[in-house]
Amino acid sequence: MDKSLYIAMTGASQNTRATAIHANNLANVSTTGFRADYAQARAMPVFGETHPSRVYAMTERPGTNFHAGSLLETGRDLDISVSNEGWIAVQAPDGSEAYTRSGDLAVDTAGILRTGSGLPVIGNAGPVALPPFESIEIGIDGTISIRELGAGPESVAVVDRIKLVNPDKANIRKGEDGLMRTRDGAPALAEADVRVATGFLESSNVNAIHDLTEIISLSRQFEMQIKLMGNVKENSEVTARLLQLG
């Protein structure tokens, strides 16, 4: 009887974890360049000092959906999207190098090029710092060209180049902050073959209908597990009364 209770309890708790994964996907359905997480459940034996006669359910996040989202045209000079496979290198809050597909860029008051979430974009020698400019252009290879304040239209200078990388998908993982990092923590090498398109943003690749359907299904499973725990309790009480009669 305790086996049934244990299975139902772990099933209910893991349903909650799976719901959280799909809810996070739904919450980021409008986040630029977001990559959805997968969720799967499997049975795991309980190992200990005795024979593993107990089995519990375990929800895990086995990987990330790397399929590209759709492109949204904005016409803005600082909006870029990665045209093929690859990532934009940024500096994470802890100072490490991380990677994103979010290309809604902006320049802060100090001239630092940042993503829409405020992360500095990495160039040839660290975060990209720009002098005051009249106009800016980002080339397909990430090269940043500007016309400085007061300069003529012919005075266009290349000031930096956005670091674009394309590490093997098997060697990168997604952190809780939504950023990609190499599994060993080492910075990925810049790739000359990665291209960007200016004036476009990549949407999230979340399938809202799929995730919403999964949440509904998980909610029903959760209710079933709770009902099973109630049945186990009733059976235990009946058994106790029978023993008392004996």
Q: What pLDDT does 113 receive?
A: 97
The candidate with the shortest Cα–Cα distance to 120, out of 100, 139, 146, is 100
Q: What band does 246 get if pLDDT is binned at 50, 70 and 90?
A: low
Q: What is the pLDDT of residues 203-216, one digit of tens each?
A: 999 999 999 999 99
pLDDT exceeds cutoff 60 at 1? no
Pairwise pLDDT comparison (2 vs 200), residue with the higher score:
200
Domain ranges of the chain: 2-65+206-245, 71-202
pLDDT digits (tens, 9 = 90+) for 47-71: 777 777 777 778 888 889 999 999 9
Mean pLDDT over residues 119-146, rounded? 94
pTM of the model: 0.82
Mean pLDDT of 236-246: 73
Report the pLDDT value the prediction gives residue 2, as an integer from 0 to 100.
65
Q: Which positions ≥6 away from 49 have C-beta within 8 Å?
A: none
Both structure tokens of 155: 């005075």
